Structure formats: C-alpha cells, structure tokens
C-alpha cells in the first residue's frame, strides 16, 4: 500500500503538489500555531509597552511646558522694572497705591504667560514681610507664604529656584490644593536680595492634563515626589498617599523623571492587557481553519486550471516520443499554458517537416556520393591525357607545348585535385606563375609581371585561388584596347599582425560608378568585368576574416587599378589554419 502510494506520488505531479503543500504549508501552519501564542504575545506586549512609554513621554513633555511657563513668568517678574523699583524703595510698611501697582503687574503677567492656568496664585514677599498677591486676602497668603518658605525639605538650585514636594491650600480664599514654585527675588542690576516669588498652580490643571493623555480607562497617571508621596493622580485612592512605583509588581508601570526631580508615573492593569492579548490570539487561532479551507480550495482550482493541462501536454509528448507526429493539444485561453500548447503543436509540425527533409537530404547525399565517384574518374583521365600529350610534344621536339601542358596541369591540380582550403603562400605563387605562363602564351607581348614579395612570409598560409582572379581581371579588362604592354605588380608584405596582398596594373582603370558596386555578386553594372571572380574573392575573405579583410579597389597615382586585401598572419601544417 505504501509502495503504491509512493509510486503514485513519484509519477503524478498532482499528488506531488498535494504532498508538498501539506508538508510545506499546512504542517508548518499547524506547528507555528502552537508556538504563535507566546511569540505574538511577546510582540503585542512589546508594542503596548512602547505605546505606554510614548504616552508617558508625551505627558511628561506637557508637564514640562507648565514648568517652563512658570519659570518664564518668574523671569518676567525678576526683570519687571515697576516691581523692582517698588521693592527697592519700599519701607517697612507699603502704601496702598504700591500694592495696587504691584498687583496690576501680577495680573499683566498672568494674562500674558499663565492665562491658561486660570486658578494660579501669584505671591511676592518683600524684605519687610509685605505680601503682594493677585488674590484679595494678603494676610492669609502671607501666612501660607511663610510656611512655604520655611519648608525644610525644599531642595533649591543654585539660582534659588525650587518646586516644593507637598501641596498647599489657601483658606478661606479657596479649598483647592496647589503645587508650589518659589525662587529668591534679586535686583538684577546688583544681585541684592529683595524678597521671594511664589507661584502656585492648581492641581486640577495637572490632573486634567494627565487625564487626557492616559492610555485606556484602567490606566492611572500620577505625579510623584522623590519621597514617593503622590502629589497629583487620576486615581482618588492614590492622592496624598505614598506609592513606591519601583516595587509595584501588580501593575505595568512606566515612568519618566521630570526636570524638577518629580516623577510622572503611568500604572496599567496587567490583567486587562492580558485579556486584550488573549482575545487577539483567540481570533488568530479561529482563523486557522478558514486559512486551511481556503488553501484546500486553492489546491482544487490550481489542479483544475494548471495541473490538468500539464497532464494533457505530458500525454501528448509521450505520443510524440512514441512516433505519433499527428497528435495535437488544444488548451484554451491566452495564458502561458495556451502559448505552451501552441508552441508544442508548432514543434510537432516542425519536427515532422524536419524528419521529411532529413530523409530527402539523405537520399540526395547518396546520389551526390555516387556522382562524386563518377567525377573522380574525370580528373585522373584528364591528367593522364595531359601527360600523354606532354610526352608526345617532347618526342616531337615542341618544348613550348610541353611546358604549356605542365603549367596547365599545375593550375588544374591546385584547383581540382587539392582539396585543402588554405595553402602556403609559396604554393600559391607557384600556381600563379603557371597561370601567368599560360596567359603570356595566349597573349604574347600583352603584359609583363613583377613580384614584390617578402620571402619571410612564404611559409604563412593563405586561402588558395585569391590572387589569380585579380590578375585575370587586369589581363582581360585592364589591358583591353591598350597599345603599349601592360605591367602587373604582385605585392605581398607584412602589415602589423596581418599580411597585405596587392595586385596593381597600369591599365585603363575602373570607373568609380562600377567600382562601388563591383564587389556585389548580384550587381549587373559590373558587366563585362569579372563579375564572378572579384565578388567571389571578396565574399570568401569577408566570411573567413571579417569585413575588414575584404577587397579594396582604388586607383593609384599613376593610373590603372590597385586591389588590396589583408589576412591574419598564421602558420600551419598541411593547410590547417
């Protein structure tokens, strides 16, 4: 049973996909789901802690702005000339008008800086124990001010600025509790002490601020003094109590230290947070069956739309491999599978055509082999006949005829018998000399030939039968209608890493119009010129060495025609380049 199932999986892509999907997706999902609770819980917990920390920092920044406003207000009092002059000139008892002027300045400062702290109390005491305040009962304020200034636990900075670590009430003016800021009042022109500045902020202002910034209904935000006494809190049960938040293990606690030494503390219910996280995890776990069902639906649709066409293509390929070239596949649509099916059908048609063409080529090759066997008889017969004629000419005392036959045999041997593509330049020159002898015998006195050859290049290789068509072009067309004898110069010399061949004549030359199209084998304007030889040589050079090695036809300074080409300098054995 197991072996049968294994064979099915190995031989069907559909079963492979189902198995791999189960192994690579469903199984990992089930395994991960058992571990996901702890990992996701940790991530959610970290995110919540980050959110709490951010909220605490934002609330701390808001509280610090209050401290900055209070400090700015005290700085304005320190630099206010009206208050300073009154404080300097006052005697032991202050006049009513002086009270009025100073209090007017208090209201001005409250309006410009502390206007949004509607219930703040401003108090200034002078060195004669006179009290100036924006509240009506200076006697009450003076008693409270004396108690504030006498507080032994207030930690003052070098400039005399301090926030007091307890709250104060001002009966009968108000029953509200206030947080108190005090600093020494100096004459800013000579630093002489003139009195004290006291600014009292209603705790409701701070309580409302931290109430707006707390996270969740179960969170508690508090401002705690360094001795752990709660100054302000959103929880009535914590107010005026001592709360050591560093040892609180029943809640999630975040805090930040403020610039005046107080602490802004956020207290969250850990059980509430865990309930939220558990709810999210339960939702995730309940989604797992839906995910698995969705994946099953995907497998079914994938099997119908992808696997089935692939199976049909596989069956068709098997038919083709068995020799059935009439099989075709039909897969609808415009997607890649449709394109694959169409390509498969075109491939089968091309394969069928290729097999038919290959069979025809085999028949044609056999026919050519037979013809070549017959053709091999003709050259041997021709050379045997030429040798017989040569012997007859020698016997008859006709040495010119004998030499002519030898030259013809040499040319024919190089073009018909020798099947090598490349030969040494030495052999190519010998073939050219035989060809020149035949042409001089044919056209006596018509031309002369001169060789300018670097003998160090004679053992280098060249494709055979390149120079002879160029010389033939000069003899047949360059010297036509010339009364004086023509001159042909064959040059072979080294040029860098290449060998340059040149054939120059002093004939009638080639017009520019004909010269431009002469090297095209389909050109009809070449007319009577060697329309087979020159284009053939040019194409052979281009195919073997590239366009830079093709023929270049120019007119030399003295007139006539100069044809030049270059090939790479290569040596070899037996004509192998």
40 vs 62: CA distance, rounded Å: 33
Overall average pLDDT of the 537-546 stretch = 88
Q: Which residues pair with 316 in a beta bridge?
A: none
The chain-wide mean pLDDT, for the chain, equals 76
Only one residue has tokens 């016997």, namely 395
Owner of token pair 């700085």: 75
Tokens of 503: 């054939």
Full DSSP string of 426-461? HHHHHHHHHHHHHHHHHSTTSEEEEEEE-GGGTTSE
Residues contacting residue 39 through CB under 8 Å, at least 6 positions apart: none
Ramachandran sector of residue 216 (left: φ over 0; alpha: ψ -120 to 50; beta: rest)? left
Rounded Cα distance, 531 and 522, in Å: 9
Reported as a single tens digit per residue, the pLDDT across 339-379 is 888 888 888 888 888 888 888 878 877 766 655 555 554 55
Helix extents (H) in 90-237: 96-112, 138-149, 203-213
> pTM for this one?
0.42
More confident residue, 263 or 107: 263
The token pair that represents 190 in the structure block:
């000579």
User: Any bridge partners for residue 399, and if so which?
Assistant: none
| Banded model confidence at residue 406, pLDDT cuts 50, 70, 90 | confident
Q: What is the pLDDT of residue 88?
A: 77
The residue with tokens 């052979």 is 540
Q: CATH second-level architecture of 1-322?
A: 2-Layer Sandwich (3.30)
**2-16, 68-82, 340-354, 457-471 — which one is most confidently predicted on average?**
457-471
* 486-495: strand order across its sheet: 447-453, 486-495, 498-505, 561-568, 552-554
> Do the beta carbons of residue 180 and residue 144 sit within 8 Å?
no
**Interatomic CA distance for residues 36 and 25, integer angstroms:** 15
Lowest mean pLDDT among 108-112, 131-135, 162-166, 276-280: 276-280
Distances (CA, A) of 512 to 16, 517, 555, 561: 74, 9, 9, 11
Over 90: is that where the pLDDT of 316 sits? no
Residue whose token pair is 């199209």: 517
| Secondary structure (DSSP) of 341-396 | HHHHHHHHHHHHHHHHHHHHHHHHHHHHHHHHHHHTHHHHHHHHHHHHHHHHHHHT
Confidence of residue 312 (pLDDT cuts 50, 70, 90): confident
* Phi and psi at residue 508, to the nearest 5°: -75, -10
Q: How confident is the model at residue 449 (pLDDT cuts 50, 70, 90)?
A: very high
Contact 561, 555 (CB under 8 A): yes
**pLDDT at site 158:** 47
Predicted confidence band at 454 (pLDDT cuts at 50, 70, 90)?
very high
**Helix ranges (DSSP H) in 233-307:** 270-302
> pLDDT confidence of 451, banded at 50, 70, 90?
very high
Q: Average pLDDT in the 333-344 region?
A: 78
Could you give the 3-state DSSP secondary structure of residue 154?
coil
Instruction: Return d(Cα 406, Cα 393) in angstroms, integer.
Output: 11
- 222 contacts: CB under 8 Å, gap ≥ 6: 210, 230, 231, 232, 233, 234, 235, 238, 243, 264, 265, 267
What backbone phi and psi angles, to 5 degrees, belong to 359? -65, -40
Rounded to 10 degrees, the C-alpha dihedral 275/281/285/290 comes to: 110
Lookup result for tokens 């300045």? 105
CA distance 548 to 552: 10
Highest mean pLDDT pick, 68-72, 168-172, 213-217: 68-72
Q: Of residues 107 and 419, which shows the higher confidence score? A: 107
Question: Hunting for tokens 């930690």 — which residue is that?
Answer: 155
Separation CA 114–CA 506 (nearest Å): 114
For residue 107 the two structure tokens come to: 């209201």
- Segment (H or E) for 494: strand 486-495
Q: In this predicted structure, which of 379-383, 431-435, 501-505 has the lowest mean pLDDT? A: 379-383
Alpha helices in 136-221 (DSSP H): 138-149, 203-213
Cβ burial 103-140 (10 Å sphere, 16+ → b, else e):
bebbeebbeebbeebeebbbbbbbeeebbbbbbeebeb
Mean of pLDDT values over 75-97: 73
Residue 22 DSSP label: I
Min mean pLDDT across 115-129, 249-263, 354-368 is at 115-129
What is the domain partition of the chain in residue ranges?
1-322, 325-373, 444-568
Tell me whether strands 220-224 and 162-170 are parallel, antiparallel or unpaired. Answer: unpaired
Tell me if residue 203 falls in helix, strand or coil: helix
Q: Domain 444-568 - what CATH class?
A: alpha beta
For residue 165, the 8-state DSSP code is E
């Amino acid at each position: 049973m197991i072996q049968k199932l294994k064979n099915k999986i190995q031989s069907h892509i559909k079963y492979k996909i189902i198995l791999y999907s189960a192994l690579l997706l469903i199984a990992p999902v089930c395994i991960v789901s058992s571990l996901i609770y702890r990992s996701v819980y940790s991530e959610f917990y970290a995110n919540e802690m980050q959110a709490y920390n951010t909220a605490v920092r934002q609330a701390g920044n808001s509280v610090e702005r209050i401290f900055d406003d209070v400090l700015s207000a005290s700085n304005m009092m320190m630099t206010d000339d009206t208050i300073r002059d009154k404080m300097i000139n006052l005697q032991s008892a202050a006049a009513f008008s002086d009270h009025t002027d100073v209090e007017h300045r208090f209201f001005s400062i409250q309006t410009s800086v502390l206007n949004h702290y509607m219930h703040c109390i401003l108090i200034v005491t002078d060195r004669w124990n006179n009290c100036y305040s924006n509240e009506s009962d200076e006697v009450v304020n003076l008693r409270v001010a004396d108690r504030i200034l006498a507080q032994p636990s207030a930690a003052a900075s070098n400039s005399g600025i301090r926030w007091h670590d307890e709250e104060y009430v001002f009966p009968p003016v108000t029953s509200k509790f206030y947080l108190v800021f005090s600093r020494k009042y100096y004459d800013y022109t000579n630093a002489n002490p003139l009195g004290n500045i006291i600014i009292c902020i209603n705790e409701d202002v701070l309580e409302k601020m931290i109430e707006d910034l707390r996270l969740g209904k179960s969170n508690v935000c508090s401002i705690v003094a360094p001795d752990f006494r709660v100054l302000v809190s959103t929880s009535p049960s914590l107010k005026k109590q001592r709360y050591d938040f560093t040892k609180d293990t029943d809640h999630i606690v975040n805090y930040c230290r403020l610039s005046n030494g107080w602490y802004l503390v956020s207290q969250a219910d850990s059980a509430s947070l865990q309930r939220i996280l558990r709810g999210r995890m339960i939702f995730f776990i309940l989604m797992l069956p839906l995910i698995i069902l969705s994946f099953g639906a995907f497998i079914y649709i994938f099997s119908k739309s992808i696997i089935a066409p692939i199976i049909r293509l596989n069956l068709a390929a098997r038919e083709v491999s068995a020799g059935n070239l009439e099989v075709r596949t039909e897969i609808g649509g415009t997607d890649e599978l449709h394109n694959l099916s169409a390509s498969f059908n075109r491939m089968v048609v091309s394969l069928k055509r290729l097999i038919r063409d290959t069979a025809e080529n085999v028949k044609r090759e056999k026919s050519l082999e037979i013809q070549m066997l017959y053709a091999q008889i003709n050259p041997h017969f021709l050379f045997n006949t030429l040798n017989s004629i040569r012997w007859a000419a020698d016997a008859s005392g006709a040495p010119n005829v004998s030499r002519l036959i030898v030259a013809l045999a040499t040319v024919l041997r190089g073009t018909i018998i020798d099947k090598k593509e490349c030969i040494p330049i030495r052999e190519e020159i010998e073939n050219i000399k035989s060809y020149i002898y035949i042409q001089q015998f044919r056209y006596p006195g018509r031309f002369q030939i001169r060789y300018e050859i670097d003998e160090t290049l004679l053992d280098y290789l060249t494709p055979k039968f390149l120079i002879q068509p160029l010389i033939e072009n000069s003899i047949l067309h360059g010297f036509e209608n010339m009364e004086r004898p023509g001159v042909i110069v064959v040059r072979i010399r080294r040029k860098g890493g290449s060998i340059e061949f040149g054939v120059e004549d002093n004939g009638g030359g080639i017009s520019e119009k004909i010269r431009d199209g002469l090297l095209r084998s389909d050109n009809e304007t070449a007319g009577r010129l060697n329309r087979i030889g020159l284009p053939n040589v040019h194409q052979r050079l281009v195919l073997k060495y590239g366009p830079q090695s093709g023929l270049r036809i120019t007119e030399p300074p003295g007139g006539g025609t100069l044809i030049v080409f270059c090939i790479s300098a290569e040596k070899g054995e037996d004509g192998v380049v």
